[in-house]
Amino acid sequence: MVDFVALSDVCDEATALLIKREVSDGVIAPGYTPEAIEVLKEKAQGYLLRYQD
């Protein structure tokens, strides 16, 4: 089973810190701040997906 966190807004550092504590395989968001990317890089084998309308 694969579990993703999906966001409707840009992932910022505060949100990334919350997500980092949860078990998930990746994050889907319309964008990521540089700080959020640094935080989420620490998740083992996680994926960051960006979607556009």
Of residues 25, 24, 32, the one with CA closest to residue 51: 32
Tell me the CATH number at 8. Answer: 3.40.140.20
In which domain, by residue range, is 46 found? 4-50
How many C-beta neighbours within 10 Å does residue 53 have?
A: 3
More confident residue, 22 or 34: 34
Residue 1 has what pLDDT? 78
Number of domains in the chain: 1
Segment 22-34 shows an average pLDDT of 91
Residues 6+ positions from 13 with CB-CB distance below 8 Å: 33, 35, 36, 39
Can you say whether the dihedral through the CA atoms of 44, 15, 28, 23 is positive or negative?
positive
More confident residue, 25 or 36: 36
Residue 45 has what pLDDT? 73
Q: Does the pLDDT at position 44 exceed 90?
A: no
Residue 52 has what pLDDT? 75
